[in-house]
Structure 1
Amino acid sequence: MVVLNKIYTRSGDGGDTALGNGERVAKHSLRVDAYGSVDETNATVGLARLHAQGDVGDALARIQNDLFDLGADLCRPDMARDAEAEYAPLRMADAQVDRLEAEIDAMNETLAPLRSFILPGGSALAAHLHLCRTVSRRAERLAVELATEEDVNAAALKYLNRLSDWFFVAARIANDDGRSDILWIPGANR
């Protein structure tokens, strides 16, 4: 159980922060940037939820929880030392990726194939889901870059990759099952 009775600590006033294992790093480190972008993704999902209901709203709530799991995973470096930790670090699991894939497949079954790229927008929910998609893509790029320098849980990378696809398909669902998608017209304004 997390207990937060004091919000500021002053420990980061010098520009560093503590990772999940207690190690202190610069606030501009790639790891902090990666899990910070995951947190930003979570905030955009919170905005999308203002316009969602039913199955999509429930799925977005699950995704928000997963994103906290993902942030916890990314803020804990040195996976090789997980067994030595006082308590087992929270790591993303393939089951979370599998759930996203199943949800993408189920949503996609109702959609006509795309014959053009689509522009972000349409309904308020679709527009917010496209914002979620682009922010999650940035988080993925940062996590992939981090993985070139340090160990990163493979399930975390897969989850981020599937997540942006989930947001894309959900945005099409939010646009009247794709019927209200705004199609890109190449060179339309030349």
Structure 2
Amino acid sequence: MLYTRTGDRGESSLYNGNRKPKTDQIFEALGAVDELNSSIGIAHHYCNKVGNGLVDQLIEIQCNLQDIGSNIATPRNDSSETQLRNTAFDEGHIDKLEGWIDTLDSQLPPLRNFILPSGGEASVFLHQARSICRRAERTTIPVVEANEADETVLKYLNRLSDYLFAAARYAAKKDELEENVYKKAKSGREASVQTRSLSK
């Protein structure tokens, strides 16, 4: 059965068998990472529709987020050596992500203005994932500081938001769509938006 009734009193189990209130900072972080994974799933759908070349990277990232969830759900200060070894998050994932960022960024025009989430469906959903990623990072900070998750998890989430930003701009370029550039409104007037082509 999908339901167990064990969480009806507001508690849930971790990988090591310990139970904590669902309001615990660990479950806040787990929930944010899960939401991030779902949002990347939406972005993946639209990237796949247009064939912009990002889908394999996004699937790998989703798998890494599952591993991050396992790491967070296994408090490093209160789990067995076997459990810690099974849920360790390798720093090599961060190096790979940085390589992807550099490759995407090298194909984009320099960023000289703030941009608004824009540039087509694939791009805007990648931007949405980026903002959720920032929240996942913020909620994971106290978990890492309490020695309940590895620091590599936090580093990966920090780099992932950069990747999603670069990927969003890249997706707009591949779709040959313009991104909206923020322009501060003058006093008493509505804010105006400029568009900029990514092909230049």
Q: TM-score, normalised by structure 1?
A: 0.90
Equivalent positions of 1:165-176 (< 5 A) are 165-176=162-173
Q: CA deviation at 1:180?
A: 1.5
Aligned twin of 1:180: 178
Q: 2 CA distance for matches of 1:80 and 1:100?
A: 30
Preserved CA contact (<8 Å) 1:97 1:159: yes
Deviation, 1:138, is 0.3
| Residues 80-115 of structure 1: CA deviation (Å, up to 9, x unaligned) | 744254x83312111111110000000000111111
What secondary structure sits across from 2:112 in the alignment?
Answer: coil
Q: Which runs of 4+ in 1 moved over 6 A?
A: none
Separation in 2 of the partners of 1:78 and 1:26?
18
Quick check: 2:74–2:148 contact (8 Å CA) kept in 1? no
Query: SS at 1:78's partner residue?
Result: coil
Q: Which residue does the alignment assign to 1:135?
A: 132
Q: Tell me the matched-pair count.
A: 184
Structure 2 distance, partners of 1:138, 1:146, is 13
Once residues 65 and 20 of structure 1 are traced to their aligned partners in structure 2, the CA distance between those partners, rounded to angstroms, is: 18
- Is residue 96 of structure 2 the alignment partner of residue 99 of structure 1? yes
Residue 14 (structure 2) pairs with residue 16 (structure 1): no
**11 and 104 in structure 1: CA distance in 2 versus 1, 3 angstrom threshold:** same
- 1:77 deviates by 0.3
For 2:82 and 2:171, the matched residues in 1 are separated by: 46
Check the 8 A contact 2:133/2:157 in 1, yes or no: yes
In percent, how many aligned pairs have the same letter?
A: 35
Cα distance, 1:96–1:79 mapped onto 2, change above 3 Å: farther
2:78, 2:37 → 1: CA distance?
28
1:30 aligns with 2:28: no
Deviations 1:44-83 (CA, angstroms, capped at 9, x unpaired): 0111111113530111111111110111111110357442
Q: In the alignment, which residue of structure 2 is the partner of 1:72?
A: 70
| Kept in 2: contact 1:91–1:153 (CA 8 A) | yes
Letter in 2 for 1:180: E
2:39 matched to 1:44? Answer: yes
**Is residue 111 of structure 2 the alignment partner of residue 114 of structure 1?**
yes
| Conserved 8 A contact 1:38-1:139 | yes
The runs of 5 or more residues in structure 2 that have no matched partner are 192-200
How many Å apart are 1:149 and its aligned residue? 2.8
Greater CA deviation, 7-16 or 178-187?
A: 178-187
Change (3 A) 1:35 1:171: same
**Under a length normalisation based on structure 2, what TM-score does the superposition of the two structures give?**
0.86
Determine which structure has more spread, i.e. the larger CA radius of gyration: 2
Aligned-pair distance for 1:179? Answer: 6.5
RMSD, aligned α-carbons:
1.8
Does the CA contact (< 8 Å) of 1:82 and 1:89 recur in 2?
no
